[in-house]
Amino acid sequence: MSIQEVSAETLAKLFHHYREALAEDYDGKGSEHGNSSWDRTPTSERKLMVAAAQLTLEELGATTSADHPTRKYFATPGQADWGC
């Protein structure tokens, strides 16, 4: 699966899942609510996480397309070697 195929909600859910799973290892506390799930997360927090995931995906997509130009055989401005 490529970055372009991942939805913002899927990324937010996965991030939430792994954050909860790793929280105890990092702060020794874990989730305040025990085994917290995405469905029990407040709607406002879910919306915030999905919005952040959307911006992340857009930035990653922009970075990826800049790294792999569609015209790979042409020099980018300022990089062409000129001379006779």
d(CA 16, CA 10): 10
Q: Where are the alpha helices (DSSP H) in 28-80?
A: 43-67
Question: For position 64, what pLDDT does the model report?
Answer: 59
- Of 9, 32, 10, 8, nearest to 20 (Cα)? 32
Q: How many domains does the structure of the chain reveal?
A: 1
Task: Write out the residue range of the structural domain in which residue 16 sits.
Answer: 3-67
d(CA 67, CA 44): 35
Residue 72, domain member (yes or no): no
The pTM assigned to this predicted structure is 0.63
Residue 61, domain member (yes or no): yes
Question: For position 41, what pLDDT does the model report?
Answer: 92
Which residues of the chain carry a pLDDT beneath 70?
Answer: 29-36, 64-84
Residue 79, domain member (yes or no): no
Length of the chain: 84
Question: For position 47, what pLDDT does the model report?
Answer: 96
Query: Model confidence over 49-71: pLDDT tens digits?
Result: 999 999 999 888 877 555 555 55
21 Cβ contact list (under 8 Å, min separation 6): none
